Amino acid sequence: MARFILKDPFYKKAKQEGFRARSAYKLKEIEDRFHLVRKGNTVLDLGCSPGSFLQVLAGMVGEKGTVIGIDILPTPPLPLTNVTTVEADIRETDVLDLLKRFSLSAVDAVTCDIAPNLSGIRDVDDARIEELFASVLKVVDEALKPGGHFIIKSFSTGVQKRIAAELQMRFRKVSQYKPAASRSVSSEVFFVCAGKKETVAGRKSQVTG
Ligand SMILES: C[S@@+](CC[C@H](N)C(=O)[O-])C[C@H]1O[C@@H](n2cnc3c(N)ncnc32)[C@H](O)[C@@H]1O
């Protein structure tokens, strides 16, 4: 396994270019293709540690933008003035309360790279993925502006269709995308969701700002 990692071109590249994890290249590739994050944006990154998405997002939003990362584990500090991290479990976080601490009512984009602990037992894993997804969706419903964008890592499982349906109710365009940096042996796949709708299945979206 260690040998496999050392041969991995994205692992090597991340080391050379100073990224904390190879997943930086997944987000870069998604952005190169979909162009969702702009200079000056505020972005919430769920499951941010060790911080390679934060490093990439900091460059995308520029010095006038803001990136807020949340992780259940500590995130080693980054020397980036436009990035702040919070240690919290997103399943138990009042996101509106958290945004208030930064004098914000909503964000322009949400990214989520959280992976639940997978057991290899399909029913157990599907339940874990759905539970986590419900918490993430609550954050998106509450904190993402109408017109905002959402990128979430998921896994090809029995619940994939239900997850896609929930996202399609909320966003104008939902694409499934597997970046080259995502290992081919992994079932991971990203949902790239553009343009949050004003209303979700007949009810007004919670964020108005
Ligand atoms: C694959 S890593 C994220 C890597 C990160 N995107 C990067 O580029 O450095 C997944 C992260 O999700 C975090 N996580 C898992 N469950 C969580 C939860 N309930 N709340 C917050 N963070 C969680 C883990 O601690 C882990 O750091």
**Residue 209: per-residue pLDDT:** 38
Q: Give the position of tokens 């639940």.
A: 116
User: Which atom of ligand 1 lies nearest, measured to the CA of 45?
Assistant: 6
Instruction: Look up residue 117 and give its two tokens.
Output: 């602990």
From 26, 28, 153, 196, active-site residue: 153
Half-sphere exposure of 87 (CA within 13 A, CB side): 6
In the chain the domains, ranked by start, together with CATH numbers, are 22-204 (3.40.50.150)
**Residue 147: per-residue pLDDT:** 98
Indicate the pTM of the whole model: 0.93
Dist. CA 202 → ligand 1 center (Å):
32
Dist. CA 128 → ligand 1 center (Å):
14
Kindly give the pairing relationship between strand 107-112 and strand 83-87: unpaired
pLDDT digit string (tens) for the chain, length 209 residues: 455 566 789 999 999 999 999 999 999 999 999 999 999 999 999 999 999 999 999 999 999 999 999 999 999 999 999 999 999 999 999 999 999 999 999 999 999 999 888 888 989 988 998 999 999 999 999 999 999 999 999 987 788 899 999 999 999 999 999 999 998 888 899 999 999 999 876 555 555 43
Instruction: Look up residue 187 and give its two tokens.
Output: 């079932």
Q: State whether the beta carbon of 108 lies less than 6 angstroms from ligand 1.
A: no
Distance CA 10, CA 176 (A): 21
**Residue 208: per-residue pLDDT:** 43
Q: Is 26 a catalytic residue?
A: no
Q: State whether the beta carbon of 49 lies less than 6 angstroms from ligand 1.
A: yes
